[in-house]
Amino acid sequence: MAFFSILTAVALEHLRPLRQPLPHYQAYKRFTTFLEHRFNAGEYSHGAIAWTLAMLPVVAGVWFVSMLLDDISPLLGWAWNVLVLYFTMGFKYFSDTAERIARLLRAADVAGAREQLAAWRHGDTSQFSDDDLTRVTIEQVMAASHRQMFGVLIWFVLLVPLGPVGAVLFRAASILARRWSNSRGAFGDFAQRAFHAINWLPARLTAMTYAIAGNFEDAMYCWRTQASAWPDEEDGVVLAAGAGAMGVRLGQSINVGDETVWRPDLGTVQAMLDPDSIDSAVSMIWRGLVIWLVAGLLVVIAGWVA
């Protein structure tokens, strides 16, 4: 049942992708903002309380509905799994943005590409060169594929006896870590540590997915030797493996406004970056998903035969 829930949700998300702004995300954003304003006195313990209050209602609510629908009909439980997965994923609208940036770069519309990327990453891109735009777009789409597809699906499978609780747990933890990363004092530290623990295994399975879908040897080498230099360890694992799998060089310093932001090198220098590299990154990600879906199908068939 888990495999068919994933297959249906992925197909639905591909055919009818969600579009921003996402109403359920905006509602959760308002809720987390309220909790931050209410509890943020700059203390670690206050952040832990707020994180628990932000997490428990959604996780418990999803679990309760899942148990209720399963008792009524397994088909309703399956439909609930699909619905929750559909609303917790959302990689397709980011991959569409990446492909749009690639088209703009091919058309030499650098200003349009900068505008698209700035809206996506919520940061200044006015000083980005064509190469910067390509590199950062590839980084963004790889990170988005992990946070909004692979990580969600991995935790759904890990906690599948509880319905779609795992998918909600991962996405909510990811959102809280990002939204409270710049909070006053130590308030956001618990959210960062909690997501680090929750994200440890999915990040490495996503990196393994890139390695299988691309150049395995280079992906593993870059993962081992470069990931730890990235500011966020789990993002470093994903990006280093992805860059190695593609045979490109990511990271490197970029100009943000009037400042030069140093970033370590990730990947190799086997191929030159161009707008087609963005499409190649998206293709590798979808190829990785197909590999796991085929593996899941084989497991289902083996279960039927046995």
**Predicted confidence (pLDDT) per residue in 157-208, tens digit:** 999 999 999 999 999 999 999 999 888 788 999 999 999 999 999 999 999 9
pLDDT above 70 as % of the chain: 100
- The token duo for 286 is 């979808």
* Residue 196 C-alpha from the chain's centroid: 13
Phi and psi torsions of 62, nearest 5°: -65, -40
- The tens digit of pLDDT for each residue in 90-116 reads 888 889 999 999 999 999 999 999 999
- The token duo for 106 is 């091919």
Those residues whose C-beta lies under 8 Å from the C-beta of residue 224, and which sit 6 or more positions away, are: none
Q: How confident is the model at residue 9 (pLDDT cuts 50, 70, 90)?
A: very high
Instruction: State the Cα–Cα distance between residues 130 and 105, nearest whole angstrom.
Output: 7
Instruction: State the Cα–Cα distance between residues 85 and 118, nearest whole angstrom.
Output: 28
pLDDT in the model for residue 173: 96
Higher pLDDT, 169 or 120: 169
Instruction: State the Cα–Cα distance between residues 306 and 300, nearest whole angstrom.
Output: 10
- The tens digit of pLDDT for each residue in 194-244 reads 999 999 999 999 999 999 999 999 999 999 999 999 989 999 999 999 999
Half-sphere exposure of 76 (CA within 13 A, CB side): 9
Asked if residue 306 has pLDDT above 70, the reply is no
pTM of the model: 0.94
Those residues whose C-beta lies under 8 Å from the C-beta of residue 187, and which sit 6 or more positions away, are: 36, 39, 40, 41, 42, 43, 44, 46, 47, 50, 180
